[in-house]
Amino acid sequence: MIERSRYWVEWPTLSLIALSYCAWAAGTTFLSSVWLPLGIVLTALAIALHSSLQHEVIHGHPVANRMLAQALVFPAIILVIPYLRFRDTHLAHHHDALLTDPYDDPESNYLDPTVWERLPWVVQVLLNFNNTLIGRLLIGPAVSQAAFMLGDWRKARAGDGSVVLGWLWHIPALIPVVLWLVFVSQMPFWAYALSAYAAISILKIRTFLEHQAHERARGRTVIIEDRGLLAFLFLNNNLHVVHHMHPRLPWYRLPKTYFANRDRYLARNNGYRYKSYAEVFRRYLFKAKDPVPHPIWRR
């Protein structure tokens, strides 16, 4: 248990929030004016880091005041994902007993086998390609966004007020971003949209295999022992079983916690582990790790 005072502040996270905005501002302004591809790359990295920081806020970081914490990451620089919907679906995902469930886990990449069998063959081909890492990078953002918005549309039509509210709050979250792009940014809108798409592609590397189908919930969550740029952009969420076991633990304590108790965590998740993201790319860039229909799912 982490003891906190009434006015605690996690300065490493607060500093990263400031850094993400500075990098985003630099990428959309003078770097884009110097060389647009460099501006696109830095902007994409900044947006990906900002999304990881939103994830930290969802789990109660970096300040005691929840409204202030949410305000720090509320601007929708990723454009298409409302923070409140990200928050609600992600917290629902943290019910470990439901991980990978095609219906009850909002972040599951599996489908009910019966639903899969009814899909047109063209859609099956598309989703099979999406289950390779190269597919997840190229079309994953479009596929997941379409599924996400279709699901929210159905929930809204069914009278789910939290979904409607989440999208309504997305409007004021977009206003400062739009004003920046119109009056300050030196980056064309198409280039910014490309940066946002690339940022989601980067995040898809993390989510690609962080959960697997397994009879026991404890065996469904991965460990990737990476310590490089991707681990930084994901704020060590590649040590995913540690995060699921201790969701209130800040990102900068995850590596020490894991490596001090490595055998315990690998026993916990039945050894579901990869050495690095380089290993993940070598094994699954052009190969699907899992089938799209859930291989052991029973309603």
Tokens of 192: 């910014």
Q: How far is CA 110 from each of CA 104, 105, 136, 171, 276, rounded to the nearest angstrom?
A: 11, 10, 14, 31, 24
Three-point CA angle 238, 128, 156, nearest 5°: 75
Per residue of the chain (299 residues), give pLDDT as tens: 455 556 789 999 999 999 999 999 999 999 999 999 999 999 999 999 999 999 999 999 999 999 999 999 999 999 999 999 999 999 999 999 999 999 999 999 999 999 999 999 999 999 999 999 999 999 999 999 999 999 999 999 999 999 999 999 999 999 999 999 999 999 999 999 999 999 999 999 999 999 999 999 999 999 999 999 999 999 999 999 999 999 999 999 999 999 999 999 999 999 999 999 999 999 999 999 999 999 998 76
Place of tokens 């994953």: 140
Residue among 237, 230, 238, 180 nearest 202 (CA): 230
